[in-house]
């Protein structure tokens, strides 16, 4: 039973968008699609341990969910007119269009942006209500209510599960890109956790590629796809055999996927040639400079710093300035970097990576006691288990006598 439950969880996380999109597009109702899939998952949990896993598990689930949906419509007086139309149709088959349709439908402009992101993480990313609640720092019952309201608003508004006409892309695309990035990060930061969590990173890359194929004249879509491809190409080197984070300067670059890096760089160059720069293209440019450098010390730090300047002009975030300060340490020197880091104290003093960056710069300046204090504060503030382990190691290094 446990193996089947794990398999169903992996299938849901890997293709929630495709399955919900296929059913939602046909039924015209995300709630009905979700209820039918829940029934199908429960039936699989009952039958598969005894009967064995079908050859095409996702297809079995969608076919079973389709039958469950028709059964519900037969019992629902308001659904009988729809039943007459749907009963003669074959079960839907999930495809690329359904995954993207789910993204665009959940990112409908009638929904507030937080609701768009939360609903899409649920329907397209396969995250549980509890996981999304943790990301938004709210209790699970509160998030469950938000998701229910968002789905009801889509249903009452008659929103169809299909990609909008080109004239409506502009209203939805920023939220779609943001959600794909969040899906990727949820998996990319999950090393040391179950494999199905890490599969979210691959899902994010695949969704970005599909969107780039759908919208070849949108350079920011290509920029996001290139950014995720560049990060994912380094995934094999980001964690050691014990699941501990390995920082960029210590990664074994022989483990990087060089062909994937080259393909992502070509995608980025094509996007940049369109002459409409944006935040995702600039972030991808920074990632490319790191990925193409023969060694960490040989990174084009001056160019990295200049790209952060351009990124800050578009996205005036203190976190962008913090990352710029890291580049300043190598492009200009640690003293200049410390000045930039300290200038952000009023905005980032509660952010663990501000203290981590400050610890590194102080150590580079030969001020180990202050570096240890900063590293300890970073450890106190870190919430992610992998990051806490990393900061614990850093504290241990700084306590060790020279």
- Say which residue the tokens 């015209």 belong to: 28
Q: What sign does the CA torsion over 30, 15, 10, 120 have?
A: negative
Q: What is the mean pLDDT of the chain?
A: 84
pLDDT higher than 80, residue 14 = no
Q: CB 241: neighbour CB atoms within 10 A?
A: 5
CB distance 398 to 375 below 8 Å:
yes
Percent of the chain exceeding pLDDT 90 equals 41
The 3-state DSSP composition of the chain as helix, strand, coil percent (nearest 5) reads 75, 0, 25
Q: CB 263: neighbour CB atoms within 10 A?
A: 15
**pTM across the whole model:** 0.78
- Say which residue the tokens 């190691």 belong to: 393
pLDDT score, position 337: 97
Stated as kind and residue range, the H or E segment containing 239 is none
Six token digits for residue 87 = 């009963």
Which range, 25-29, 111-115, 218-222, is most confident? 218-222
pLDDT band at 370 (very low <50, low <70, confident <90, very high): very high
């Amino acid at each position: 039973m446990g193996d089947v439950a794990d398999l169903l969880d992996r299938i849901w996380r890997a293709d929630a968008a495709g399955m919900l999109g296929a059913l939602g597009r046909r039924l015209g109702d995300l709630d009905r699609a979700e209820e039918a899939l829940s029934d199908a998952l429960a039936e699989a949990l009952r039958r598969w341990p005894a009967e064995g896993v079908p050859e095409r598990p996702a297809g079995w689930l969608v076919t079973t969910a389709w039958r469950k949906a028709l059964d519900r419509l037969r019992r629902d007086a308001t659904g009988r007119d729809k039943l007459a139309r749907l009963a003669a149709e074959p079960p839907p088959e999930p495809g690329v269009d359904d995954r993207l349709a789910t993204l665009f439908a959940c990112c409908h402009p009638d929904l507030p942006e937080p609701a768009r992101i939360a609903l899409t993480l649920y329907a397209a990313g396969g995250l549980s209500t509890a996981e999304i609640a943790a990301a938004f720092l709210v209790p699970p019952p509160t998030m469950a209510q938000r998701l229910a309201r968002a789905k009801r608003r889509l249903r009452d508004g008659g929103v169809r599960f299909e990609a909008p006409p080109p004239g409506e892309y502009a209203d939805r695309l920023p939220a779609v890109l943001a959600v794909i990035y969040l899906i990727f990060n949820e998996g990319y930061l999950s090393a040391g956790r179950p494999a199905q969590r890490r599969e979210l990173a691959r899902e994010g890359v695949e969704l970005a590629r599909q969107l780039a194929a759908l919208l070849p004249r949108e350079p920011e879509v290509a920029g996001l796809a290139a950014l995720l491809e560049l990060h994912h190409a380094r995934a094999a080197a980001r964690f050691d055999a014990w699941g501990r984070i390995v920082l960029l300067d210590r990664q074994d670059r022989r483990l990087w996927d060089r062909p994937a890096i080259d393909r992502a760089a070509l995608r980025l160059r094509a996007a940049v040639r369109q002459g409409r720069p944006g935040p995702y293209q600039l972030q991808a440019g920074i990632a490319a400079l790191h990925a193409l450098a023969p060694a960490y010390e040989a990174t084009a730090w001056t160019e990295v710093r200049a790209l952060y300047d351009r990124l800050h002009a578009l996205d005036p975030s203190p976190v962008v300035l913090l990352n710029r300060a890291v580049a300043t340490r190598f492009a200009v020197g640690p003293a200049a970097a410390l000045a930039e880091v300290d200038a952000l104290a009023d905005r980032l003093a509660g952010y663990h990576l501000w203290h981590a960056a400050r610890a590194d710069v102080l150590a580079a300046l030969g001020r180990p006691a202050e570096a240890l204090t900063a590293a300890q504060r970073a450890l106190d503030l870190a919430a992610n288990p992998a990051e806490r382990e990393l900061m614990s190691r850093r504290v241990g290094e700084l306590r060790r006598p020279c």
